[in-house]
Structure 1
Amino acid sequence: MKKALLTASLATLLSAPVMADTVAGLYVGGQGWQTDTSGSFADTNSLANFNFDDETNTAFYVAVEHPLPLIPNLKVNHTSLDSQGKTTLQSDFTFNGTTYLAETGVSTLSDITTTDFILYYELFDNDLVSFDVGLNGKYVDGMLTVSPIAAEEESAVEGSREFSGVVPMVYSRVQVGLPFTGLAAYAEGSYLSIDDHKLSDFQVAVTYAFIDSLAVDMTVQVGYRRVNIDIEDLDNVYADLEYDGAFAGLEIHF
């Protein structure tokens, strides 16, 4: 009888963290991201390298988790990837029907947003470790612009290209926590390499829960994120752009 009671007590203690995390919850978060941008783009496969200034971009997300079996959880993440800069072309460059001659100074604008629609399952979920895996439909929507710096340039015509598309990706996230401290660390990412498109989106961060109550949890995040967009002929746009840098964020869990 004593052995049975002891076994039941241990089972209850071990399952308590898991059961606590299976209650339906809403996560809302935002991040400010200091972005270093590098790369090239064109409307043919002859890409030109451009210089970009550092920018502060943002990301906002919402996630809904529930205890229903077989039905995946949902996370939506919207990220801005805005960059601009000035470059002296090393060779002739044609974009949107306009040719910019070598040694021409041009301004470039990369106005891109991505929206991730993630369906995922929690394979493990407790105070020590959690592990999620799923699929991500990343919607990429952007416009690339090239224009001469000086109005007196011979080819003083601005060229712009808009593009958009949904790219399927594999998603995963792992988090390790230190119980009773409020501290945790996580790594989260999506990746795809299919046909001529290669996209990746990874971030790692340390978090601290400074409010932990029955009504609401609030957590600060400090980490590093890198996004690579390598696309071939997406709406007649070719690009190999990388965005990376440190970020800070806040997450609220209801």
Structure 2
Amino acid sequence: MKKILYTLTCTAVLASSVMADFTRVEMGAGAWMQTPKGTATYTESGANGLYTSSEKEETSPYIWAAIKHPIPVLPNLRLEYVSLKDSGRASGQFKDFTITSASTTLSYDMKQYDIIPYYNILDNTAWITLDLGLDIKIINASYRAAPSAPFAGYSDSVIFPIPLLYARARVQIPSTDIGLEADIKYISTGNSTVYDARAKVDYTLGFFPVIKPAVEIGYRVQKIDINEDSIDAKLDIDFSGVYAGLMFRF
């Protein structure tokens, strides 16, 4: 977590110092209080494994940074990170292991890295901002089936990218330091749908001259529904809940 925050900070500072034409750098960090829900199944050659979430509330850290510049032909850049965890019951036969006890717990840690090049369609025009772009969501998921005699346990990890369309809209309330904002990352293909949507309100402490701190609070919903005939593992999981954090504008 500290390494990721340090990397994002260095990236923003270095970019703004090397290219003096940048008009704005923003970054933030906070916590997402969300409840995981859903299932994962594995079916191949008679195998039939099932994972079901215990639906316990989790608190997940998130970090983001955005760099906007005045060169029209080049996209701006937004980077995001969030770490999601869940645990639940597993049963049946999976690719490399077989659950032999009804009390076996399976847990996973899903780190998500979003790389978002985007274009600023409206930039506080009549107090409205509109961004459109592409999100490459890189998921690094590690999972572990806990030992439960006579099962010895199992652990593994997988990394895979998901491309999504990105849109963000913001309204700055006139004569105030209050902003209303929503964004969505979305793709739907075949029988699969993935989206990540947020809506928030933020308040900027405008009396600081150079670095303007702000607070943000909102609601976030994420859905990962992957159900393709060519893939043996099927996912139908979602995360939803309130998030809150601090922001800094340069």
- The answer as to 2:165 corresponding to 1:165 is no
How far, CA to CA, are the matches of 2:106 and 2:180 in structure 1?
Answer: 37
How far, CA to CA, are the matches of 1:141 and 1:231 in structure 2?
Answer: 16
Residue by residue over 1:37-88, the C-alpha shift from the partner in whole angstroms, topping out at 9 and shown as x without a partner, is 0111234375442314211101101111011111110001011111224x3x
Residue 83 of structure 2: which of 70, 80, 83 is its match?
A: 80
How far, CA to CA, are the matches of 1:61 and 1:129 in structure 2?
Answer: 21
After TM superposition, give the deviation of residue 237 of structure 1 in Å.
4.0
How far, CA to CA, are the matches of 1:112 and 1:237 in structure 2?
Answer: 16
Residue by residue over 1:144-180, the C-alpha shift from the partner in whole angstroms, topping out at 9 and shown as x without a partner, is 22225xx4x44x2213342211111100000112122
| Contact kept? 1:147, 1:158, Cα under 8 Å | yes
Unaligned runs of 5+ in 1: 1-21
After TM superposition, give the deviation of residue 29 of structure 1 in Å.
0.7
How far, CA to CA, are the matches of 1:235 and 1:176 in structure 2?
Answer: 41
Q: 1:160 to 1:237 in 2, by over 3 A?
A: farther
1:28 is matched with which residue?
27
Matched-pair identity in %: 25
Q: 1:167 to 1:136 in 2, by over 3 A?
A: same
Residue 235 of structure 2: which of 233, 236, 239 is its match?
A: 239
- The answer as to 2:51 corresponding to 1:53 is no
Aligned length: 224
Unaligned runs of 5+ in 2: 1-20
State the secondary structure of the residue aligned to 1:251: strand
State the secondary structure of the residue aligned to 2:205: strand
Q: 1:164 to 1:196 in 2, by over 3 A?
A: farther
Q: TM-score, structure 1 length as denominator?
A: 0.80
- The answer as to 2:177 corresponding to 1:177 is no
- The answer as to 2:205 corresponding to 1:207 is no
Larger radius of gyration: 1
How far, CA to CA, are the matches of 2:85 and 2:34 in structure 1?
Answer: 9
After TM superposition, give the deviation of residue 215 of structure 1 in Å.
0.9
Q: 1:44 to 1:24 in 2, by over 3 A?
A: farther
| Contact kept? 1:138, 1:167, Cα under 8 Å | yes
How far, CA to CA, are the matches of 1:141 and 1:38 in structure 2?
Answer: 19
2:106 is matched with which residue?
108
1:253 is matched with which residue?
249
How far, CA to CA, are the matches of 1:231 and 1:212 in structure 2?
Answer: 47
1:136 is matched with which residue?
135
How far, CA to CA, are the matches of 2:87 and 2:224 in structure 1?
Answer: 16
Residue by residue over 1:208-233, the C-alpha shift from the partner in whole angstroms, topping out at 9 and shown as x without a partner, is 11235441221111111111122357
Q: 1:213 to 1:235 in 2, by over 3 A?
A: farther
State the secondary structure of the residue aligned to 1:104: coil
State the secondary structure of the residue aligned to 2:81: strand
Letter in 1 for 2:62: A
| Contact kept? 1:30, 1:60, Cα under 8 Å | yes
Q: Which range moves more in the overlay, 139-148 or 105-114?
A: 139-148
Letter in 1 for 2:197: F
After TM superposition, give the deviation of residue 35 of structure 1 in Å.
1.5
How far, CA to CA, are the matches of 1:194 and 1:67 in structure 2?
Answer: 34
Q: TM-score, structure 2 length as denominator?
A: 0.81
How far, CA to CA, are the matches of 1:41 and 1:143 in structure 2?
Answer: 14
How far, CA to CA, are the matches of 1:237 and 1:187 in structure 2?
Answer: 32
1:124 is matched with which residue?
122
1:41 is matched with which residue?
40
Residue 192 of structure 1: which of 176, 187, 190 is its match?
A: 187
How far, CA to CA, are the matches of 2:72 and 2:173 in structure 1?
Answer: 28
